[in-house]
Structure 1
Amino acid sequence: MNHPSLNPARPHRGVLAGFVAAVSVQALGVPALAVVLMGSSGYDALARSYPGIFTSLLSAILRVVTEGASWLTVGALVCALFLRAVPGQSRRLLDHDFEVRVGRASALVWAGSALLLIPVDAADANGQTIETLLLPGALPYLVQGSYLPGAWIVAFILASASYFLLALGSRWTTLLPALLASMLAVLAPVVVGQVLVGPAHDFGSDAAIIGVPVSAALFGASTVLTLRLCTGRAIRPSTLDRFVRMAWFAWPLVLGSEIVLAAFKLVGPDPWQTATATLILTRLGLLVGLACLFVFTVIGERRGRISRHQLTLLSCVGTTLSLTYLLVGVVMTRIPPPQYFVPTTIAEVFFGFTIDEAPTLSVLATSWRPNILFAVIAVSAVILYLAALKRVRSRGHAWPLGRTVSWVLGWVVVVVATSSGLGKYSGIDFGVHMTVHMALNMLAPLLLVMGGVVTLFLRATTPAGTHGAAGPHEWLAAVLKWRVLRVLYNPLLIFVLFIGSYYGLYFTGLFEETMRFHWGHQAMNLHFLIVGYLYYSLIIGVDRPPRPLPHLGRLGFVLAAMPFHAFFGVILMTSTTLIAEDFYRQVGAPWADLSASQYVGGGVAWAGGELPLLIVIIALGIQWARQDQREAVRKDRHFDSGLDDDFEEYNAMLRRLANRRASADSREDT
């Protein structure tokens, strides 16, 4: 790496001014031109009233501002958390960092523009003018008339939370929840947008859930680094190295998600003749162009052929291309895509695919439909684990084979539960759904916690030392010492989450509402997996939890949960009230027997909850016995080697007591 190009320099005022001007014109001009050229065509295609040029234009421009600010916020947080390579003690303090200041400003803009989009998109999505909002009762009525205003409410709350965390927090761990809130805020308007409609929308939604936050992190971080260059600030070589590694990982995910979204949207008669096809090809071309520019810049920098000024110019070009990618995406939200106009069945409306056969054992075993989100998570988790294992073994350290097998099998269970016929039929049959629930909440976490992933990563990573820049080892150590993690591992909280999730989800209207949306179903599955992991890691996990329990406490923890599982299953089996009856009748599967399905689901919940806990009790007993055996062997070894003098000390104490008693008796005789 050629260091001089990364050293501090005088701000490139001309470059910065030109860059800001070009970006501003581009950000305002492209959506304005698109809105003017399209006119009412997008609204007419959906048989919706045209709200007028002002409302349409205001909605498009605010959407650009919101998405641009969200990219900057996420990018600034990624840079501050993972890319900045500040050595020494100052690596833990972030409040004065350039990235944090950028994040604060962009989060504030993000929250403000999202707040404005609530009424604006309420009017725009319902084909009403801005003036309509002034009528009594119009705003709440229009907000309820579309999913998008509700998504902007969520985005506003989460963006505001990110701003306050950035404004008030000064330590590394404070920014972790800010990044999580920002990622969720980015997704809020996406999951209720165009990916919510059409055949195979389960594929489209998963692709967007993966690609949108990854693209925000990648392009947002590159924009923040560009701002550092334009303002004359230094970029450490290690920071650039980290960004390069992140880009190699993130770019394939972004490209893959775009390809899946293209396949999802471009359906029906002559889809390639539509404006959506042109815009998709433009975005794919921009991704390829950005990749070429990235490779050219990295190679030139490593060979010392690029000066700081040239690096700044190339970074500005890359940021302009990424902004164009964002703007094309905003324009796409104004155009109804081809999949909107493809005839769909009721099952496709809710699930994204048709279901023609009853869920027999052979159908469940052979009728697979990939769950992209969980498949990507599972594959990534296994690859990272095996990479860490390879590094540990290269250092000459042993690692139990059983832990590796347990980790891999845990993710195999996740993939089978979500991508086999079980996952495919989990939305239409309650008994199958409960089987998936038990697999994700009881079986998969039980295997995953036995993998000891935290211990493995701590051994695989190298401490940076007092004067080095924080890396993966320090990040993981900071999370393990984090007060929030100690709160999450409070036994009472975990117990309430583990048991209360059953009653709170199925005995309220929450289950029926989440089943109507693919993103809701995915969030529910993820909740099952995370809560199960927390529960089992506290009881039987290899990794030491922040609040470890003694063996007797673990046993009591398991025994306390068993009656609640049994009671829940019995309620389902004996209840005359059907869970999510309206939803299942609306789906209208011809083979459906709702009462029988709920009875099966109750039996699965009963048996599926009790059997894993019985296995845990047996495993706890074995662990307890082994620990006592190891302790006994250790004491015997110390005693045989003469290192344990407990018995000698005890005998000496008895002699001293005897001597004191003899002395007292002699004094009484005299």
Structure 2
Amino acid sequence: MSEEQLSSQEGDGFAVASVPAARRRARGSAWIYVCIAIVAGIAAGGIASFFLADSLKALGIPDPGRVTTVGLPFVRAAAWIAMATSVGSFLASSFFISPREHDAETLNTAPLTVDGHVAKRVGALAALVTAVLAVLEVPLVLSDTTGSSFLEVLDPQLFTYAFPNISTAQVWLLTAGLAAVVGIGGLIASRWGSQPVLLVLSVLMVVPLGMEGHSASGGDHDYGTNSFLWHLIFMVLWVGGLLALLAHGRRLGPDLTMAVRRYSNLALFSVIVMVCSGLINAAIRIEWSDWFTTRYGLIIVAKSVLTLVLALFGFAHRQLTMPQLKSRPELFRRVAFVELLVMALTVGVAGTMGRTPPPPPRDPNLNSMQILLGYELSEAPSVAGLFTHFRFDILWGTLGLLLAGFYAYGVWRVRRRGLTWTWTRTAWWMAGSLGMTLFMSSELGMYIPALYSMHMLGHMVLSMVVPLLLALGAPLTLMMEAWEPGFGPHEWALAATRSRIVGFITHPAVNLVQFLFFFYILYLSFDLYEYAVSEHAGHVIMNACFLVSGYFYFWELVGPDPIPHRRPTGLRLLLLFISMPIHLYAGVYLMQLGQILGENFYLSLDLPWNPDFAYDQKMGGGIAWGFGQFPLVIVFGTLFLEWLREDRSAARRHDQKADLDGDQDLEDYNAMLARLNDEDYR
């Protein structure tokens, strides 16, 4: 093909018209990943070396040496860039780059394109780099915490003594394990269906680190930790998404316009989340007057200014580069590269906050309850308190609002397409999502960590009420109705209903076991329950397990969404009857249990009304025994009505067939009886 012919054609979402041949050559991006990581590391290490040494000395913290002082923030910042690269690459291979040779029915098994394969491989390698850096961070953290040099902590005796007592080092080792799993899985996987799973796993690498640091200690630490977790998740999506997008553009990959549009929406939402969560976190940690008078505050100011600059870059993309993406793709790449450099500086600055001593707390006289829970409970729970006490739950309350907003947007799109959507499904979903927000932000949600009975009530609501209501809302069906067919939400939702992983989890035997497993493993293991209730991370993990496990259980039983190999209604009714007594037995067991679960933690709260924990545990067992019947009645009613509809439908089909063939089945049956009767007489 001639140069003139090339210049007159337009690629799939990536125009090449009037673009010189030198600019159309595909380029690799490995040097960009390394450059961004080095910039972030130098920013973090430089601040630590020249800005924080005096602060640590003034606080009497031993100097662990230059290797740790500079190396710890450098490695930490580089690890964050590696995590972001992994997340962004799997985001691209999942939702920015369409696979080849697929349709709506075969998306899960569709092979990745060359561009998708490259993005996937980059995500896997970045995860393995994260694992290496996380392992390196472990001795650096030990060195920094103990005040010993880096070489000293490598001594096996000191290492084995310090490691079990320093949670930050343990978290980095956990992160290394997760990253290794993601990296190995990414190298093995080759089909599109595995990419969203790898994306979720890569995001989970961030979660353990979000539970550590200044945000996880002191008063209001539940607000601090939850807002920090939102902040980190959308930071890696924001940074990683742009890295993957720039690399895709440099490869001259297809569908760039679509990818940029999707990333632009994600970036806008990420900016909003990061600004809100950052302000909340900063307001909890320091006074407004400390922003410009302390070094910790100055770091927050620098990070805020850089975030504002990044928001301006996003505005420039929307106004300048996106309208010219087809005619001047190199403009987008140049602006994106400069934006990534600013992002790297932001990550580097943020990476020093974990090692920067914050100003003294607002209230230095926190009691044990405020330290352990993050807030204070002054009186026993009451019915009146349900209407007077409210403390918004930043994690689960926000999640409920987001789920409600997503569903409302989907219904709006359905109606805009001229289709209809059942109002009952909308009511079910809104009751589940908004109900979770109200419950977790009410007095009941506040008392969940403090009393076993309230914990059990929260368990029942999060595993049996909210998931049931959400499952009845049919969210995947809504996505398929709201978006047109094509590589987008419609196909993604359809792929979820055809997924082998979903099919395995929703197999009746597996689904029943996983639903009961979390209940029994938690309450039969005293040490596990003690750890789960005494740590904020334990509460988050428990609630997440309750919610996800319950959703899969009820989704398979009564969810209107199509799922792989849904079993007949009669079999699902049988499984319901099997699960009911097993669940009831757990409640009876807890009511008769002599040992108090989590007693040491509950006593350490020093609750002012001196509750009887043995009686409270019996109440919790009673809640598990009696409260679970309410959602099961709804499930039974739904399945029974579905069974009746199936029976009536079968009867109508039989009557229609009888009208067409003169009830031939009955004639054949009578003839068979007559033959048998004749044989008997012979």
TM-score strictly above 0.5: yes
2:356 to 335, 340, 358: 335
CA contact (8 A) 1:5 1:307 kept: no
> Any idea what the Cα deviations from partners look like across 1:164-222, whole Å, max 9, x if unmatched?
11111111121222212211112222211221112111111111221211110111111
Amino acid of the residue matched to residue 336 of structure 2?
Answer: S
CA shift in 2, pair 1:340/1:103, >3 Å: farther
CA contact (8 A) 1:290 1:322 kept: yes
2:644 maps to what in 1? 625
Q: Displacement, 1:275?
A: 1.6
Amino acid of the residue matched to residue 379 of structure 2?
Answer: E
Distance 2:410 2:22 in 1: 39
Q: Displacement, 1:371?
A: 0.8
Q: Displacement, 1:327?
A: 0.6
1:392 maps to what in 2? 414
CA shift in 2, pair 1:53/1:604, >3 Å: same
Distance 1:647 1:607 in 2: 50
Amino acid of the residue matched to residue 322 of structure 1?
Answer: M
Matched, 1:50 2:63: yes
CA shift in 2, pair 1:645/1:399, >3 Å: farther
Matched, 1:294 2:314: yes
CA contact (8 A) 2:37 2:78 kept: no
CA contact (8 A) 1:199 1:339 kept: no
CA shift in 2, pair 1:287/1:333, >3 Å: same
Distance 1:543 1:235 in 2: 30
Matched, 1:553 2:555: no
Amino acid of the residue matched to residue 315 of structure 2?
Answer: V
1:467 maps to what in 2? none
Q: Displacement, 1:104?
A: 2.7
Between the two proteins, what is the percent identity of the paired residues?
A: 26
Describe the SS at the equivalent of 1:361: coil
Structure 1: which 5+ residue stretches go unaligned?
465-469
Q: Displacement, 1:611?
A: 3.3
Matched, 1:402 2:424: yes
Amino acid of the residue matched to residue 525 of structure 1?
Answer: N
2:44 maps to what in 1? 31
Q: Displacement, 1:351?
A: 1.4
CA shift in 2, pair 1:26/1:454, >3 Å: closer
Amino acid of the residue matched to residue 538 of structure 2?
Answer: G
Q: Displacement, 1:3?
A: 3.3
Distance 1:225 1:164 in 2: 23
CA shift in 2, pair 1:304/1:96, >3 Å: closer
Distance 2:34 2:26 in 1: 12
Distance 1:43 1:337 in 2: 11
Distance 2:666 2:490 in 1: 45
CA shift in 2, pair 1:19/1:189, >3 Å: closer
Distance 2:310 2:465 in 1: 43
1:266 maps to what in 2? 286
Q: Displacement, 1:46?
A: 5.8
1:645 to 650, 658, 661: 661
Distance 2:676 2:571 in 1: 42
CA contact (8 A) 1:104 1:167 kept: yes
Q: Displacement, 1:297?
A: 2.5
Cα RMSD, aligned residues only: 3.0
Describe the SS at the equivalent of 2:125: helix
Distance 1:586 1:312 in 2: 56
CA contact (8 A) 2:321 2:331 kept: no
TM-score (norm 1): 0.90
TM-score (norm 2): 0.89
Matched, 1:589 2:631: no
Q: Displacement, 1:14?
A: 12
Describe the SS at the equivalent of 2:23: coil
Matched, 1:516 2:538: no
Amino acid of the residue matched to residue 500 of structure 2?
Answer: R
2:181 maps to what in 1? 161
Distance 1:61 1:442 in 2: 45
Distance 2:208 2:113 in 1: 28
> Any idea what the Cα deviations from partners look like across 1:27-85, whole Å, max 9, x if unmatched?
34323322222454454466543212222222122112211111111111111111124
Distance 2:613 2:672 in 1: 79
Matched, 1:572 2:594: no
In the alignment of these two chains, the number of paired residues is: 656
CA contact (8 A) 2:99 2:113 kept: no
Describe the SS at the equivalent of 2:355: coil
1:537 maps to what in 2? 555
> Any idea what the Cα deviations from partners look like across 1:568-612, whole Å, max 9, x if unmatched?
222222222111011111111121221121121111111012333
CA contact (8 A) 2:286 2:361 kept: no
Matched, 1:506 2:523: yes
Distance 1:169 1:573 in 2: 47
Distance 1:659 1:607 in 2: 57
Give runs of aligned pairs for residues 204-603 of structure 1, distance below 5 A.
204-230=224-250, 236-267=256-287, 270=290, 272-304=292-324, 307-338=328-359, 342-343=363-364, 344-464=366-486, 470-508=487-525, 509-591=527-609, 592-603=611-622
Distance 1:9 1:342 in 2: 63
Q: Displacement, 1:513?
A: 0.8
Q: Displacement, 1:416?
A: 2.6
CA shift in 2, pair 1:625/1:661, >3 Å: closer
Distance 2:145 2:442 in 1: 37
Amino acid of the residue matched to residue 502 of structure 2?
Answer: L
Distance 1:170 1:312 in 2: 28
Q: Displacement, 1:134?
A: 3.9
Q: Displacement, 1:163?
A: 0.9
CA shift in 2, pair 1:136/1:299, >3 Å: closer
Distance 2:205 2:59 in 1: 27
Matched, 1:111 2:125: no
Matched, 1:613 2:632: yes
CA contact (8 A) 1:413 1:439 kept: no
Structure 2: which 5+ residue stretches go unaligned?
1-12
CA shift in 2, pair 1:15/1:652, >3 Å: closer
CA contact (8 A) 1:463 1:473 kept: yes
Give runs of aligned pairs for residues 42-191 of structure 1, distance below 5 A.
42-44=55-57, 47-85=60-98, 88-89=101-102, 92-94=110-112, 96-97=114-115, 98-191=118-211
Q: Displacement, 1:379?
A: 1.4
1:194 maps to what in 2? 214
